[in-house]
Structure 1
Amino acid sequence: MTATDTMRAVRITEHGGPEVLQLADVPVPAPEPDEVLVRVAAAALNNTDLWTREGAYGRPDDPAARSGWRGPVGFPRIQGADVAGRVVAVGAAVDEDIIGRRVVVDPALYDGEGPDAHPVGLMGSERDGGYAQYVTAPRRRVHDQTESPLTDDQLATLPTAYGTALGMIERGRLQEGETALVTGASGGVGIALVQLARARGAHVVALSSTPKTDAVRDAGAHAVVDRARDLDGQLDAAAPRGIDVVLDVVAGDLLSTGLPWLREGGRWVVAGALGGYGVRFDVRRLYLHNAQLIGSAMHTPAHFGLLMELARRGAVRPVVAAAFPLAEAARAQEELARRRHVGKIVLHP
């Protein structure tokens, strides 16, 4: 490729509604010495795309401030954290053996190089992402999936949803034989949590709405609880010994009232706030029962490596709800925001 090559990409130049998503012809990015250039086959949508576009993350000193995932967004920004595609070029310091390989990109920007480094940035927020025909990524964050039985669409669904889910399960120390409660179970992260917790040998209780019960049960849930009905009574029946680990992307009132569901020494892992970020609870339910409240932002490099090994074996089977062409990214995000689907929505550049 030459410096004059262009590609189609969907960018935002300000925070706002779906109308700020703009399809544009932009230069194909040139990989830095330690990077590769990936031709995007599929890019999956996530709630973080909506919240980054809206600037909904706030800041520690100003919760109402418009902000990207971890701070101000540098506009214009190409959205999209989740990418599957093929490597078509490499930087000067990268071995060319990777060219032509089918890959998945780890979208996290980490605070160090070790296996337990924390994510402090995200592709599509702190650097350009996959709503485009091409994207660059550090070679060490590109994972070869050429031999995986999963489709490109399925591979694209993995990084944020399954990475976040596996990070929650690992940080919550979920063990075989324990009981896990998955909230928001029909969403992308929720379905991933159900599949991964079931694969770990846990008894999985899922919290969802009635129209999506069958799909959540098909994903592997042993029991599905209707969030519109009496939760205490349903959980007593589905998990009479209590919950060992809550895997929560909802928070809000659910966290405010749900701590008594935990068994002694139980863990409540939060990785989202679909139900609201203002939470109040009786702190006695925390310390008197040796419970733990754990925040979990995505995954570590070690978690992501484990996820990629599962993908190579086909040990997870992501659910793809719908696919849209890149030019219809705004419509795809609107569909994501309606939350009528089960699984993941992907874009095809």
Structure 2
Amino acid sequence: MLPKTMTAVHLTGHGGLDRLELRHDVPVPKPGPCKVLVRVTAAGINNTDINTRTGWYNQAVSSGTTAEGGKDGFGVSEQGMGDWEGGLTFPRIQGADAVGRIVAVGSGVEPGRVGERVVCDPYIRDPDDVEGFDSAGFLGSEHDGAFAQYTVVPSLNAVSVPDDLPLSDAALATLPCSGGTAMNMLVIAGAKAGDLALVTGASGGVGTFLVQILKAIGAEVVAVAGKSKMSAVSDLGADHVINRDGEDILARVLEGTGGRKLSLVADVVGGANFPNLLKLLRRGGRYVTAGAIGGPKVELDLRMLYLKNLSLFGSTVYLRQTFPRLIDMVVSGKIKPFSTKSWPLAEIRAAQTEFFEKKHVGSLVLLPSASEGTPCI
């Protein structure tokens, strides 16, 4: 029997960690037509949820995603979503990465779905929107998300995975945002077998998936990571691992590739090295980005763009085929998601603090408890 109320974390506005309010009296949502209620067993921690809280998407913010900003915010009280232009209102239950079990269904959904183990596609959109861009809303932003014991999503967004899939729910909770972002970047940029591809931020949640997916499709991977994380990135399959610290990263990448220039750059860092990344691309090369943790304001010489016939791609909203392709690769064993550490939901502030310190490899996860006492219906 379902409880009447649940434990959840309310985001009460843009700002610091103090904007995250743990509550035990939040009503359990009810699934409407074509929707399902998911008991959340694991919820990933990602840059998107933190950037939303801190207001980093506002174009007035020019710094990277610093630990100080993650703790205290960036002084933004309004328009914290920048050009995302979403329908974020407060209080909001964040959490783009929802994994769990379907416990109830709305009208129009097969009752047999109750009990299914699911990973939730975080982009919620109108089924009639063919491209899916105009109507796209994000779980944890326009819609209440996974930082709660229960969440409601459209039935189409609750993607079933086998009960006997040998991956923990915590590992699966790295897929919706980090895994999906990596897959979407590579789909948009046309990644393919034979690409010589560079991945920045290769030790992070998105970066670790970029390395794995590129290797799975037959690309040669050059990964950039901090010195202490280089071995772990190499273990993921990267062919060449470059220390991100030090002078002249351009020369060090070319040394690693034997002088060969790149066909693809998958960048989640941005910042001062952006011009060098374009210099590393061969004529006709492609650059794709889905993040700018090193800084969003970069220098671009348009002559380099057009004289080298480069293609630049931005990636946020997933293409329709992105999430199914990602899940297929996981179920078939071609890529292996993993979580580094987990916390109970009540410790979200400590978990996010460790996340934006960037000392870990891969992803961190919250485990909302289904056993905290709440009155039953």
TM-score normalised by the shorter chain: which range applies?
A: over 0.9
Preserved CA contact (<8 Å) 2:272 2:298:
yes
TM-score by length of 2: 0.88
Please tell me the residue identity of whatever aligns with 2:340.
Answer: A
Please tell me the residue identity of whatever aligns with 1:270.
Answer: T
**Alignment partner of 2:236 out of 219, 223, 227:** 219
Cross-structure match for 1:128: 144
SS in 1 for 2:321: helix
* In the alignment, structure 1 residue 138 sits paired with structure 2 residue 154: yes
In structure 2, C-alpha distance between the alignment counterparts of 1:150 and 1:113, rounded to whole Å: 34
Please tell me the residue identity of whatever aligns with 2:31.
Answer: P
Q: How does 1:13-162 map to 2 (within 5 A)?
A: 13-25=12-24, 26-58=26-58, 66-68=79-81, 70-71=85-86, 73-110=88-125, 113=128, 116-118=131-133, 120-147=136-163, 148-162=165-179
In structure 1, C-alpha distance between the alignment counterparts of 2:233 and 2:142, rounded to whole Å: 33
Cross-structure match for 1:257: 276
Preserved CA contact (<8 Å) 2:32 2:107:
yes
Preserved CA contact (<8 Å) 1:321 1:345:
yes
Q: Structure 1 residues 206 and 214, CA, compared in 2 at 3 Å: closer, same or farther?
A: same
Please tell me the residue identity of whatever aligns with 1:173.
Answer: G
* In the alignment, structure 1 residue 341 sits paired with structure 2 residue 340: no
Preserved CA contact (<8 Å) 2:339 2:365:
yes
Preserved CA contact (<8 Å) 1:115 1:302:
no
Q: How does 1:307-318 map to 2 (within 5 A)?
A: 307-318=326-337
TM-score by length of 1: 0.95
* In the alignment, structure 1 residue 247 sits paired with structure 2 residue 294: no
Cross-structure match for 1:305: 324
In structure 2, C-alpha distance between the alignment counterparts of 1:138 and 1:305, rounded to whole Å: 15
Q: CA deviation at 1:121?
A: 2.2
Name stretches of at least 5 consecutive residues in structure 2 with no aligned partner: 63-75, 369-377
Preserved CA contact (<8 Å) 1:150 1:314:
no
Please tell me the residue identity of whatever aligns with 2:334.
Answer: A
In structure 1, C-alpha distance between the alignment counterparts of 2:127 and 2:186, rounded to whole Å: 22
Name stretches of at least 5 consecutive residues in structure 1 with no aligned partner: none
Please tell me the residue identity of whatever aligns with 2:285.
Answer: G
Q: Deviations over 1:171-219 (max 9, x none)?
A: 1111111100000111000001000001111000001110100111111
Preserved CA contact (<8 Å) 1:319 1:342:
no
Q: Deviations over 1:39-96 (max 9, x none)?
A: 011000000111111122126x999754235435211001100011000000011111
* Overall identity of the aligned pairs, in %: 44
Cross-structure match for 1:290: 309
